[in-house]
Amino acid sequence: MTLVELVITIVILGIAAAAMFSAMAAITGRSADPMLRQQSLAIAEAYMEEITLQAFSDPDGLADCGRSCFDDVGDYHNLAEAPHDARGNAITALSGYQVQVTVTAQDLGPAPGVAALRIAVTVNDPAGQLLELAGYRTSY
């Protein structure tokens, strides 16, 4: 192998390594996005589970005293907050996220339809990306 061939080989390997390192840097730079998306999904699923476990209609007919007293699905309509647990306590580690809930009445199926409530949980992550999770709650 001559000196010229050796120099050409080193140059080619250097170009390949530089391309590979720049690709790795681009992948690493965006690696937080899937984590934010997964966290948003976990928050939305937790809210959806909490809401769907509530009664379809107000069981006691009394005015609610705030987030910790929500006792039916309709109480969550227009809820907008940073993530809280089911008791209404703020989760400070997730303060960069914002949750919004809308509950709307809908009939499912052909007439006469089954009364249902459509629950939409929207989570806004710290990067500004929105994730919406929707589900239905019927009176069963």
Spell out the domain ranges in the chain.
1-30, 38-138
Task: Give the least confident one: 30-39, 53-62, 90-99, 102-111.
Answer: 30-39
pLDDT tens figures, 56-96: 988 877 777 777 788 889 889 999 999 988 777 889 999 99
Residue 118 is predicted with a pLDDT of: 95
Q: What's the confidence (pLDDT) of residue 110?
A: 77
Provide the residue type at 103 as one letter: V
- Give the DSSP letter of residue 92: G
What pLDDT does residue 122 have? Answer: 97
Place of tokens 């710290």: 126
CA distance 48 to 120: 8
**What type of residue is 29?**
G
Entry pTM: 0.73
